[in-house]
Amino acid sequence: MILSKRILPIFLLRLLALGATVSATVLMVTSHDSALVFNIKFEAKYTNSPTFKYFILINAIASGYTLILLFLSCKSSFGHLILALDLIVTLLLESSISACIAIGQVGKKGNSHAGWLPICGQVPKFCDHVTGAMIAGFAAALAYFLILVYSLHNLISLFTLNT
Amino acid sequence: MILSKRILPIFLLRLLALGATVSATVLMVTSHDSALVFNIKFEAKYTNSPTFKYFILINAIASGYTLILLFLSCKSSFGHLILALDLIVTLLLESSISACIAIGQVGKKGNSHAGWLPICGQVPKFCDHVTGAMIAGFAAALAYFLILVYSLHNLISLFTLNT
C-alpha cells in the first residue's frame, strides 16, 4: 500500500512526460513554412538547425525510455539504475530545451549586433510550431525534474525510516 | 575516517567547480573585440547576447554557492538541502552551457537557411574568449554532475549499509 502510494505519482508524471516528449517530437518534426523573400523561396524546417535536430533526437530518446519505464514501473529491483538514468534524461531534456530557447530567441527577436535578422515575421507557421514544441519540451523537462525530486525524496525518507 | 574519505572527493570536485565557474565568468565578462565591416565599427561583447548574460549570471551564482559550500562542507546536517541545491545548480549550469553552445555554433558557422552570417571571422579574439568561457563552463557543469552522482552513490550505499 505504501509502495503503490509512492509509485503512483511517478507513474502519472511519466505518463505526462511521455505525452509531452511525443508532442514535442511530432510538433518539431512537422514544423514547416515557406516564404518569398526578394523573390527567393525561403523554406523553414527543423533540418535547417542542428539545435532543432538535437531537440528531436533527445525527445525521441526520452519518449522511448519513458515508454519502457511505464511497463517496468512495478519492478523496483533496478531502482538505482533507474534513478541514474532519470538524472541523465532530465539533464538531456533540459539541455535540449535550453539550446532551443536560445536559438528561438534569435529567430524571434534577431540580434542586431551580429546582424542576424528575426525570421518569425516571414515564417510565422514554422515559429508557432517550434514554440509549441518548446512548450511541450519544457513540460517534459519539468515532469522529469519532478520525477527526480520525488524519487530522491522517497529514497531519503526510506533511509530515515531505516535509521 | 569513513566520513572524510566520503567528503574528500566532493571537496576536490567543488574546488574544481569553483575554479571553473570563476574562470568562465571572468573569461565571458572580459570577452571583447571590434572590427570594421563596410566602414561601420562592429563591437562584439557579452552584453550583445541575452544568452551570454544568462551564462555569466548562472556561473556567478554557482561560484558564490560553491564558495559557501567549501566552508560548510564539514557540517553534514544540511545534507538533504545541499543535495537538492546541488541538483538545481547542476541543471542551471547545464542549461547555461547548452544555450551558449547553440549560440556559439551560429556565431562560428552561421546559418545559411536563416541568413545569419558567422561572425568569428570578423571578431576572432571575442570568439576565442567565449570558447574559453564555454570550456570552463562545461568543466563546471561536469564537476557538478560528478558531485551529484557521488553524493547519490554515498546516499545509496549508506542506505544499503543500514538495511
- Give the domain ranges of chain A: 2-162
d(CA A60, CA A156): 31
Q: What is the pLDDT of residues B48-85, one digit of tens each?
A: 999 999 999 999 999 999 999 988 755 556 778 899 99
Is residue B69 within 8 A of residue B15, CB to CB? The reply is no
Is residue B34 within 8 A of residue B123, CB to CB? The reply is yes
Nearest CA in chain A to B163: A162
Selected residue of A95, A109, A154, A162 to mutate for chain B interface (largest B Cβ count, 10 A): A95
> How high is the pLDDT of residue B80?
82
B chain contacts of residue A84, beta-carbon cutoff 8 Å: 149, 152
B chain contacts of residue A113, beta-carbon cutoff 8 Å: 42-44, 48-49
Cell triple for residue A129? 510550431
Interior angle at CA B80, CA B78 and CA B81, nearest 5? 65
Is the pTM above the cut of 0.80? yes
Over range A2-10, report the average pLDDT: 73
> How high is the pLDDT of residue B37?
72
More confident residue, B91 or A114: B91
CA distance B113 to chain A (A): 6
Mean pLDDT for chain B overall: 89
Identity of the residue in B43, B115, B159 whose CB atom sits nearest the CB atom of A117: B115
CA distance A99 to chain B (A): 4
B chain contacts of residue A83, beta-carbon cutoff 8 Å: 152
Which residues of A touch chain B, with CB atoms under 8 Å apart?
42-44, 48-51, 80, 83-84, 87, 90-91, 94-103, 105-107, 111, 113-117, 119, 145, 148-149, 152, 155-156, 158-159, 162-163
> How high is the pLDDT of residue B1?
45
Is residue A96 within 8 A of residue B99, CB to CB? The reply is no
d(CA A30, CA A45): 8
Tell me if B95 and A98 make a contact (CB, 8 A cut-off): yes
The complex's ipTM works out to 0.89
